[in-house]
Amino acid sequence: MGFLDDFGKKISSASQEAIAKGKDLADIAKLNSNIADEKNKINAAYKEIGKKYFESHAEDFEEGYGELVGNIKASLEKIATFEQQIVEIKGVTKCPSCGAEVPKGAAFCTSCGTAIPQPEVQAAPVQEEATKTCPTCGTVLKAGDMFCINCGTKLEEVQQ
């Protein structure tokens, strides 16, 4: 029976080792997850530092940052253009205060109540036509008219 007792001890010892290894692997996985979380926090802080640097030094950046700052500015301009195209396609306008989409022609923002500036409608410039006056009755006529619309006088004969 010594063989079976030995065999039982070996199985018990092996299962204890497997349990310990499994616990170690779980602990390592948890620690690796904690490391990844901390690295994500660091990357978020780097991103925030970069954003704050750009916002405060977009015009007076240090040497070596010019290309990066230029790329950011170009991308911001493209984004603004794309957003404006979306607004035009939707047929809305943006609130200058909160940025909410407001139906065109609305006097106030439906989200924050800010007055929406209305675009000034400019009347088409009135092109003054060349005119002439009928020598017989004094009616104002278009420059190319051949006869007076009021009295019927032939205008070419009168004009010399």
- Asked if the model's pLDDT at residue 10 lies above 80, the reply is no
What percentage of the chain exceeds 90 in pLDDT?
36
Q: What is the pLDDT of residue 128?
A: 62
User: Is residue 112 situated within a structural domain?
Assistant: no
End-of-domain residue from the set 63, 91, 119: 91
pLDDT tens digits, one per residue of 137-156: 888 888 778 888 888 888 87
Query: Is 137 in contact with 158 (CB distance < 8 Å)?
Result: no
User: Is residue 101 situated within a structural domain?
Assistant: no
**Sign of the dihedral defined by the CA atoms of residues 63, 69, 71, 74, in that order:** negative
**How many domains is the chain partitioned into structurally?**
2
Regarding whether 78 and 30 lie in a shared domain, the answer is yes
Boundaries of domain holding 69: 2-91
Regarding whether 85 and 23 lie in a shared domain, the answer is yes
What percentage of the chain exceeds 70 in pLDDT?
88
Regarding whether 8 and 81 lie in a shared domain, the answer is yes
- The answer to whether the pTM exceeds 0.95 is no
User: Is residue 96 situated within a structural domain?
Assistant: no
51-82 burial, b at 16+ Cβ within 10 Å, e below that, comes to eeebeeeeeeeeeeeeeebeeeeeeeeeeeee
User: Is residue 100 situated within a structural domain?
Assistant: no
Alpha-carbon distance values, 114 to 46, 74, 96, 118 (Å): 36, 30, 8, 12
User: Is residue 11 situated within a structural domain?
Assistant: yes
CA–CA distance, 10 with 5 (Å, rounded to integer): 9
